[in-house]
Structure 1
Amino acid sequence: MKIGLYFGTFNPIHVGHLIIANHIAEFSDLDQIWMIVTPHNPLKKKSTLLEDHHRLQMVFLATEDYPKLKPSDIEFKLPQPNYTVNTLAYLQEKHRDYDFSLIMGEDNLNSFHKWKNYEVILQNHEIYVYPRISSEVISPEFENHPKIHIIDAPIVEISSTKIRESIKLGKNVKPLLPEKVWDYIDHNLFYKK
């Protein structure tokens, strides 16, 4: 089975995440997309993150009607700080019959050479890249790489940061979120302050 790994803090998960994940699940050779909720991105301030279990619950609520999309808390169990190469090694060890690929935006591909052991990742895993409006030219190192697949997915520019800021300002962002996710955020008064 071919599994695509879509990593994110999902703070909160929004319709853009679902559009991209579902498009790749339906229009690529991947059988499932695992939505990996990352416990803490070293580049983001911890204080802006909801607790891990709340973000996982929102991913669960958002994906329960999509059989090919699966929420995953696998990184919650790994030592922190964690690197993608470690997660891939752990998953490959645990699920020897599965073939794991990475899903990332074009912006991440342009900084991929800065990732820990990126050569090892590229040697052992395929990468599916979705487009961004603001993308720069792809690095020649990755441009025609046999393991990197540029996906003709819809370009969706929705930002979790903007959603959080808008909720804090009392704006209606309901159309940007799956209905069950909006209800969960609203019920728990998340992002209000």
Structure 2
Amino acid sequence: MKKIKTGIYGGSFNPIHNGHIAIARKMIELAGLDEVWLMVSPQNPLKHSVDLLDEQLRLDMTRIALEPYPQLKACDYEFHLPRPSYMWHTLQSLTRDYPEREFTLLIGADNWAVFDRWYHADDIIAHYPIAIYPRTGYPIDTARLPQTVKIFDTGLYDVSSTLVRQYINEGKDITRLIPSEITALAQQYYKGDAKGKQ
């Protein structure tokens, strides 16, 4: 039986922005995936949580933003796993829970540059396909990539969650940065105070 090819795109999504969505859609096309699950991380081991909005609010915004794209799913799977969230544990658990699916890890070139710091990095490389998307300032020598790792030219997107939060706090227009469906929510949640923050 053919397995459902499912990309796992992990991140804080603090908040989700148009770049995230564009990359996920391009990965479906270029990497031959059936779906991409945007895995909202409750606690990234490599990030500080000072500016991290409550996980349920980030998940809600991600779900709303992805409604127009049936192949993209907002996923709270890591909310129910031990913390901090290590991708090796997540992938192993997903494989047990969804035997009908084949999981591919989607990461940016910036994450690949520090991948050796990831928990059980060698095991991830050995057991799961990894699809890399380019990031400005992080060139990749494709000749040195392991057999299970490929880079896909999704294009570059000049937007980040940090930029979105900065624009909101400075009162700037964010309509080109995030989906219109979540503009009001993002402005409400990130506007200069600590409401909803962890």
TM-score bin, normalised by smaller chain = over 0.9
116, 133, 137: which one pairs with 1:134? 137
Is contact 1:85-1:121 (8 Å) kept?
Answer: yes
Match of 2:169 in 1: 168
Q: Distance in 1 between matches of 2:90 and 2:45?
A: 16
Q: Runs (4+) of structure 1 moved beyond 3 Å?
A: 136-140
In structure 1, the gaps of 5 or more residues are: none
Normalising by structure 2, we get a TM-score of 0.91
What secondary structure does 1:128 align onto?
Answer: strand
Please state how far the C-alpha of 1:87 moved relative to its aligned partner: 0.3
Please state how far the C-alpha of 1:137 moved relative to its aligned partner: 4.2
Is contact 2:41-2:85 (8 Å) kept?
Answer: no
Is contact 1:109-1:138 (8 Å) kept?
Answer: no
Residues matched between the structures, number: 189
Task: Sort the Cα spacing of 1:27 and 1:73 in 2 relative to 1 into closer, same or farther, 3 A.
Answer: same
Instruction: Work out the percentage of aligned pairs sharing the same amino acid.
Output: 37
In structure 2, the gaps of 5 or more residues are: 193-198
Q: Distance in 2 between matches of 1:136 and 1:24?
A: 19
57, 61, 68: which one pairs with 1:58? 61
Match of 1:120 in 2: 123
Please state how far the C-alpha of 1:71 moved relative to its aligned partner: 0.7
Letter in 2 for 1:144: L
Letter in 2 for 1:11: N
Q: Which has the higher helix share?
A: 1
Please state how far the C-alpha of 1:99 moved relative to its aligned partner: 0.7
Match of 1:183 in 2: 184
Alignment of 1:26-105 (within 5 A): 26-105=29-108
Letter in 2 for 1:66: Y
1:146-188 Cα distance to aligned partner (Å, 9 max, x none) = 21111011111311111101111111112101011113223xx
1:11-61 Cα distance to aligned partner (Å, 9 max, x none) = 000000011001111222111100000001233332311111110011101
Is contact 1:122-1:147 (8 Å) kept?
Answer: yes
1:103-144 Cα distance to aligned partner (Å, 9 max, x none) = 00111111111111111111110000001121144487xx23
Is contact 1:103-1:128 (8 Å) kept?
Answer: yes
Match of 1:192 in 2: 191
Match of 1:149 in 2: 150
Alignment of 1:4-19 (within 5 A): 4-19=7-22
Normalising by structure 1, we get a TM-score of 0.93
